[in-house]
């Protein structure tokens, strides 16, 4: 447990700690940065272990950012993890991180609603088991990939095969010898399609609505992440033009295989929330004919259960894996406070808070090309600085 501190910051008393909701990388980083500044932080986690979302990801997953640029405050990732850190090693790192920083974690507690106390001086958290917890500040770190989103395709109940969200996909073994349709060509869909093709599926098709920008994870030893860091503050049109050139030079034209070159600009897409696909096998699989791009999935036939694509073609796959993203699901927790955009993301992020909700911070709800772990680490330091400052004198 973190020691008591009596400095004049706004969040240092034991009776009113800073509550951090979520024990993923963002929440743990915030708690460690706060503790380093003498601020007591209590992390509330609804599952029974830290890193629950990472434990649930598919087996093949590795960070698309380098180990050197993915460490959280106060503890580097071990060199033994390699350059591209595996899912299992991310979980090991998070467990070690808690131990190293002696973080105060309370598992099995789900926070359902956050609101100001009646006197307006603190925050009241309504949690499972009828708990009511009072904190001087709150850091919401429930995760970018919180609630799986499965589109309501017309007549999906008529489909006779297996329909699952990517969150429920672990490895290709259950799909050996099967015809599989993967829906969605973000990083998750692209990697699952390649995984299935390499793992023995008889046929793999990838349903694409909007052609993605595909980048090599590393070129001549230079990781794409470093380029993302360098260009992040540059004008969007300039990065769009440079991105188009880089993609045309480094990525082959896959139009003949059914995947057209993208339009609209790489960085413009990023600003809209669409991160480029880091190639970890998709290009090779498409060129070899092991993954076949097809039109987007629009519906299912009410009588036959066939998958109906946007170009009116029909498929009868044995399984459909929906890599269709996640929802932040923050509305029940803080939707009543007026701190969310229309798409459900926080209006303010990191050290900045809404004037409607001072002391309510959010971390981990952006997906920047410079790397999510890196951004969460920087957010943690900024949040800790903001919450350890002495209160302003009237």
Query: Does residue 5 lie in a domain region?
Result: no
- For the cut 70, the answer to whether the pLDDT of residue 13 exceeds it is no
pLDDT bracket for residue 233 (50, 70, 90): confident
If asked whether residues 179 and 308 sit together in one domain, one would say: yes
> Does an H or E element contain 297, and which?
strand 297-300
Cα distances (Å, whole numbers) of residue 96 to 100, 101, 127, 257: 6, 9, 27, 45
pLDDT tens column, 70-90: 999 999 999 999 999 999 999
Percent of the chain scored above 90 by pLDDT? 85
Instruction: Name the pLDDT band for 393 (thresholds 50, 70, 90).
Output: very low
One domain for residues 182 and 299:
yes
The predicted-structure confidence for 148-158, as pLDDT tens digits, reads as follows 999 999 999 99
Does a structural domain hold residue 222? Answer: yes
Considering the domain architecture, whether residues 115 and 155 belong to the same structural domain is answered as no
Q: 307, 322, 337: which is the final residue of a domain? A: 322
Instruction: Return the number of other C-beta atoms located less than 10 Å from residue 82's C-beta.
Output: 13
Give the lowest-confidence range in 153-157, 234-238, 244-248, 322-326. 244-248
| Residues whose CB falls within 8 Å of the CB of residue 155, separated by 6 or more in sequence, listed in order | 299, 300, 301, 302, 305
Tokens 């410079």 locate to 370
User: Strand pairing of 131-135 and 111-116?
Assistant: unpaired
Rounded distance between C-alpha atoms, residue 280 and residue 218, angstroms:
10
Domain count for the chain: 2
Cα–Cα distances in Å, from 326 out to 1, 60, 150, 286, 335? 34, 19, 8, 26, 17
Residue 391 pLDDT level (bands cut at 50, 70, 90): low
Q: Are residues 155 and 300 located together in one domain of the fold?
A: yes
- Cβ pair 153, 324 in contact under 8 A: no
315 and 174 part of one domain: yes
Task: Mark whether 210 and 317 lie in a shared domain.
Answer: yes
Of 295, 322, 349, the residue that ends a domain is 322
Q: Looking at 304, 322, 340, which one is the last position of a domain?
A: 322
Nearest alpha carbon to residue 329 among 111, 145, 132, 53:
145
pLDDT digits (tens, 9 = 90+) for 346-371: 999 999 999 999 999 999 998 888 89
Structure tokens at 194: 């390649």
Give the number of other Cβ atoms within 10 Å of residue 130's Cβ. Answer: 6
Q: What CATH number is attached to the domain comprising 164?
A: 3.50.50.60
Please provide residue 224's backbone torsions phi and psi, each rounded to the nearest 5 degrees. -60, -30
**Do 35 and 76 share a domain, yes or no?**
yes
């Amino acid at each position: 447990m973190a020691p008591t501190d009596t400095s004049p910051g706004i969040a240092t008393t034991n009776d009113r700690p800073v509550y951090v909701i979520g024990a993923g990388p963002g929440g743990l980083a915030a708690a460690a940065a706060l503790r380093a500044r003498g601020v007591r932080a209590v992390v509330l986690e609804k599952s029974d272990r830290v890193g629950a979302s990472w434990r649930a990801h598919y087996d093949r997953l590795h960070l698309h950012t380098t180990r050197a640029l993915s460490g959280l405050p106060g503890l580097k990732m071990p060199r033994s993890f390699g350059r591209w850190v595996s899912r299992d090693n991310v979980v090991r790192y998070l467990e070690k991180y808690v131990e190293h920083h002696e973080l105060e974690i309370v598992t099995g507690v789900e926070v359902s609603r956050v609101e100001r106390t009646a006197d307006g001086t603190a925050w009241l958290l309504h949690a499972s088991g009828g708990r009511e917890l009072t904190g001087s500040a709150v850091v919401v770190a429930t995760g970018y990939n919180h609630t799986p989103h499965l589109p309501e395709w017309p007549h999906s109940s008529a489909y006779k095969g297996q329909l699952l969200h990517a969150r429920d996909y672990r490895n290709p073994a259950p799909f050996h010898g099967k015809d599989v349709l993967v829906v969605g060509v973000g990083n998750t869909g692209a990697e699952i399609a390649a995984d299935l093709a390499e793992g023995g599926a008889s046929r793999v098709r990838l349903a694409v609505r909007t052609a993605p920008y595909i980048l090599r994870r590393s070129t001549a030893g230079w990781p794409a992440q470093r380029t993302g860091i360098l260009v992040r503050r540059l004008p969007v049109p300039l990065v769009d033009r440079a991105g188009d050139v880089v993609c045309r030079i480094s990525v082959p034209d896959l139009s003949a295989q059914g995947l057209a070159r993208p339009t609209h600009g790489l960085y413009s897409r990023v600003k809209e929330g669409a991160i480029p696909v880091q190639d970890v096998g998709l290009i090779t699989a498409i060129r070899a004919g092991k993954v076949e791009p097809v039109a987007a999935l629009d519906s299912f036939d009410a009588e036959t259960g066939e998958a109906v694509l946007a170009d009116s073609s029909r498929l009868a796959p044995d399984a459909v894996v929906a890599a269709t993203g996640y929802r932040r699901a923050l509305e029940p927790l803080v939707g009543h406070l007026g701190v969310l955009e229309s798409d459900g993301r926080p209006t303010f992020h990191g050290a900045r808070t809404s004037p409607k909700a001072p002391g309510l911070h959010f971390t981990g709800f952006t997906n920047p090309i410079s790397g999510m772990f890196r951004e969460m680490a920087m957010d943690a330091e900024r949040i800790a600085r903001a919450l350890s400052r002495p209160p302003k004198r009237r």
